[in-house]
Amino acid sequence: MSRLVVVANRVPLGDGSRSPPGGLAVALQETLAAEGGLWFGWSGRVVAGPAGELQQRKAGAITFATLDLSRIDHGEYYTGFANRCLWPAFHYRVDLATDCGRNFDGYIRVNRLFARKLLPLLDRDDDIWVHDYHLIPMGEILREAGAHHRIGFFLHTPLPAAEILVTIPAHERLMRALCAYDLVGFQTAGDLRAFHDYVRYEAGGEVLADGTVRAYGRICRADVFPIGLDVDNIVAAGEAAMDSPSLRRLRDSLQGREMIIGVDRLDYSKGLIERFRAIETFLEIYAASRNRVAFLQIAPPSRAEVPEYREIRRQLEGEAGRINGQFGEPDRVPLHYLNRSFRRTTLAGYFRLSRAALVTPLRDGMNLVAKEFVAAQDAEDPGVLILSRFAGAARQLSAAVIVNPYDTRAVADAIHRAIAMSGGERKERWGDMMKAVRGYDIARWRNDFLAGLRGPAGAGAAAT
């Protein structure tokens, strides 16, 4: 079988240290552990001089090949274009997409640098799978350099509606680059629809009944592959964690209260300000239930070099302090707010201990936390998932309590409903959700995508 080469901005160090929080790293770790292969990308380090030499390390079946970035490259490619243009625009925050003009050249330059360093590592028969918005031009650049491999691309974020996409000055370059892949994967049917709309109405291309797209003189295929979990792993982690000392300590600290958990990278797309307001509204309106619940929000800092992320962190610290100042007692506070990473096994235990989870992003490609919460539950006494309609996961987890995260009163009501929900209803909802989580797990995601890429129509062709 051909070797799989994964290209992604984020690569764990491969030295046994913890994976960085983020859906991409978690999913790819599981994919490559099963397939074996090469994982190529940024080392996560920024160096004072020019971009560093390629470093390679083998861990089990995976070879990690990483590159340090220079300050300028990191600033223009990662902080600038990827995270102050594409990330906000793809999450419908056009108001925060402030770096779309000036950093596009840096974005292309680093994509070229990655391609240049990757090419000598490729074998003839490799299949290349490029991931996420940092590397959209990579396939086109590899093709221009003569790579004849099958090259696929998966977008972990939403693809916004064409009206939003066209606000990015380089939209045509980006969409043309997407069409250079053999197969483009999206998280939801809505993302695929946005792509098709752009192809039809902006690019003047066509979408054929079999999913083939013709645009810019190219042919590619695009489809939906909703990312999933290594379910058994999370189930086992949830069960095993229940007897751990840290779980026991947390359980004791609850003093008989029910725990409601949130776990998110500290990102404005996760709707944390709105969530804290909903918690405040709940504490105000449902005063009789105040002493029945404790909220735990875990939010590891993310992209701290981007000013908008520092600002949201500052705001959340203020909000958490204000809520605890208003509703706390000398011996307990309603909201525990922690900015750090945990082992995935520990998180699974926290999920299992919780009566409910608040997963209320304002926009999210999928949201693996929602699925992890479901997988970690005790089948006999499952918790309730309160899920934003704007998370990709809501397409599959329709048995969650679905909310509009902008409607703080509705989220407060959902919290109340979750703590009052009967065991029977909780089990029924959880059973439906677990079926969906198991039905499309990480193996299915990986196998479907790779089968699509390696299938008969897999080799990329220029339209004639």
* Interaction of residue 228 with ligand ADP, rule CB under 6 A: no
Question: Judging by DSSP bridges, how do beta strands 218-224 and 258-263 pair with one another?
Answer: unpaired
Phi-psi group of 146: left, alpha or beta (phi > 0 → left; psi -120 to 50 → alpha; rest → beta): left
Query: Is 364 a known active-site residue?
Result: yes
Q: Which is nearer to ligand ADP, 310 or 416 (CB)?
A: 310
Name the residues that contact ligand F6P, by CB under 6 A: 10, 20, 22-25, 132, 156-157, 265, 302-303
From 367, 377, 388, 396, residue interacting with ligand ADP (rule: CB under 6 A): 367
Q: What is the distance between the alpha carbons of residues 75 and 79, in angstroms, rounded to a whole number?
A: 5
* Interaction of residue 141 with ligand ADP, rule CB under 6 A: no
Q: What is the distance between the alpha carbons of residues 371 and 297, in angstroms, rounded to a whole number?
A: 17
Q: Which is nearer to ligand ADP, 216 or 445 (CB)?
A: 445
Q: Is the dihedral of CA 106, 107, 110, 115 positive or negative?
A: negative
Contacts of 353 (CB under 8 A, 6+ apart): 242, 247, 250, 251, 259
Q: Which is nearer to ligand F6P, 265 or 446 (CB)?
A: 265
* Interaction of residue 262 with ligand ADP, rule CB under 6 A: no
Which neighbouring-strand residues pair with 66? Answer: 41, 55
Which neighbouring-strand residues pair with 359? Answer: 387
- Window 325-354: residues binding ligand ADP (CB under 6 A): 341-342, 344, 347
Q: What is the distance between the alpha carbons of residues 103 and 376, in angstroms, rounded to a whole number?
A: 42
Tokens encoding 60 = 């089990």
Smallest gap from Cβ 20 to ligand ADP, in A, equals 8
From 14, 23, 80, 137, residue interacting with ligand ADP (rule: CB under 6 A): 23
Smallest gap from Cβ 267 to ligand F6P, in A, equals 8
Q: Which is nearer to ligand F6P, 149 or 303 (CB)?
A: 303
Query: Is 149 a known active-site residue?
Result: no
Distance of CA 77 to the CA centre of its chain: 19
Q: What is the distance between the alpha carbons of residues 79 and 81, in angstroms, rounded to a whole number?
A: 6
* Interaction of residue 21 with ligand ADP, rule CB under 6 A: yes
Neighbour-count burial of 209, counting CB atoms closer than 10 A to its CB (0-12 exposed, 13-18 middle, 19+ buried): exposed
Among candidate residues 230, 264, 364, 441, the one labeled active-site is: 364
Residue 60, helix vs strand vs coil? coil
* Interaction of residue 372 with ligand ADP, rule CB under 6 A: yes
Among candidate residues 156, 171, 264, 441, the one labeled active-site is: 156
Smallest gap from Cβ 216 to ligand F6P, in A, equals 25
10 binds, among ligand F6P, ligand ADP, none (CB under 5 to 8 A by kind): ligand F6P
369 binds, among ligand F6P, ligand ADP, none (CB under 5 to 8 A by kind): ligand ADP
